[in-house]
Amino acid sequence: MSETRTSNFPKTLPAFLSEGDPTTAKVYLAIARAASRLADELPLHTGMAGGVNPSGESQAKLDVFSNDLFADALLETGVVGEVASEEMEEPRRSNAPAEESLAVAMDPLDGSSNIVTNSPLGSIFGIWRGRLPQSGRRLVSAMFVTYGPQLTLCFSHGNRVCQFVKMRIGPQAGEFVLASEGMRLPDPPEVYGFGGERNKWTPRVEAFVRSLEERGLKLRYGGTFIGDYNQVLRRGGIFAYPELKGRPNGKLRILYESAPVSYLTELAGGASTTGRGSMLDITPTTLAETAPCYIGNRNLVREVEEQFARS
């Protein structure tokens, strides 16, 4: 008698999540469904929407579409009471009491300047209890999506980091299946990517990048936080959107971007810093507050802190 082949297939997302917290599972499954739809519809929503987001950035039609898609999907789960987004001035709320529901902060389409060039895009979600803003230290879980050659989900499951990939053909077509579990940032580190123009980096940022180059790390910078960060997660290294001359708080938004990714990084054995301590220890006072951020292998992040403390 031959064994059924199904037992050799990687676990699907619903099967995997059935072993964890059911509330978080509802949120993850809602994001997975919406991300699949967004990936399918990327070519349908081209061009600019005409508005600007709370950070003053011009909104693409895809920014607005993805924002509404994820916000609706999250609120429909019944377990999310508040959705705050990089694309909205004010959070959207359900009638659920704050103390009994989750709050999600999201960047629904990270790297939207990459739409026109067909380069990687992402979505980022931080999940808290209660109301926002809160520090990253209080995150319950986090997830990011990559829209690249493959559609992937990376998220915390308990204190482990997992990555799922969407199958397009074969017996599991249409399913997200387990690709990596218990992810750790590889060592030795191989790649680095620092945002902002080089002539705007402060001298201590430039000195640090020079030291990375001198020891042979390779530059990998595509202009989308999630795409660039995912390379650090898979190959080891450091991603930063650093302090700039005239822009000491960098560009990345703590709640929508850097805290959720820092949370996953720390679970995967890496570290994050603003230059003076973990990203996770900042409690932003406004939803769109930014901070310089350096995320990656622990040794490199500690070096940033040590070098900055001396300068």
Report how far residue 236's alpha carbon sits from residue 95's, in angstroms, rounded to the nearest whole number. Answer: 43
Report how far residue 233's alpha carbon sits from residue 219's, in angstroms, rounded to the nearest whole number. Answer: 15
Report in angstroms how near the CB of residue 158 gets to ligand F6P at its nearest.
28
Label residues 189-207 b or e (16+ Cβ within 10 Å = b).
bbbbbbbbeeeebbebbee
Q: Which of 144, 192, 225, 294 binds ligand F6P (CB under 6 A)?
A: 225
Pick what 269 binds: ligand F6P, Mn ion, none; C-beta below 5 to 8 Å, kind-dependent.
none
Structure tokens at 14: 């619903």
Query: Should residue 136 be labelled a site residue for ligand F6P when binding is judged by CB under 6 A?
Result: no
Number of residues that bind ligand F6P (CB under 6 A): 10
Query: Which residues lie below 8 Å from residue 4, measured CB to CB, with a gap of 6+?
Result: none
Query: Should residue 66 be labelled a site residue for ligand F6P when binding is judged by CB under 6 A?
Result: no
* Residue 225 near residue 308, CB atoms below 8 Å: no
Residue (18 or 55) nearer to ligand F6P, CB = 55
Report how far residue 237's alpha carbon sits from residue 190's, in angstroms, rounded to the nearest whole number. Answer: 5
Residue (81 or 120) nearer to ligand F6P, CB = 120
Site residues (vs Mn ion, CB under 5 A): 107, 110
Query: Should residue 251 be labelled a site residue for ligand F6P when binding is judged by CB under 6 A?
Result: yes
Of 138-146, 159-167, 218-226, 290-298, the window that binds ligand F6P (rule: CB under 6 A) is 218-226
Report in angstroms how near the CB of residue 199 gets to ligand F6P at its nearest.
13
Q: Which of 108, 120, 126, 195 binds ligand F6P (CB under 6 A)?
A: 195
User: Which of positions 82-121 make contact with ligand F6P (CB under 6 A)?
Assistant: 110-111
Q: Which of 196, 236, 237, 242 binds ligand F6P (CB under 6 A)?
A: 196
**Beta bridge partner(s), residue 192:** 219, 238
Q: How would you write 158-224 as a 3-class SS string?
A: CCEEEEEEECCCCCCCCCEEEEEECCCCCCCCCEEEECCCHHHECHHHHHHHHHHHHCCCEECCCCC
Report how far residue 94's alpha carbon sits from residue 88's, in angstroms, rounded to the nearest whole number. Answer: 16
State the residues that interact with ligand F6P by CB under 6 A.
Answer: 110-111, 195-196, 223-225, 241, 251, 257
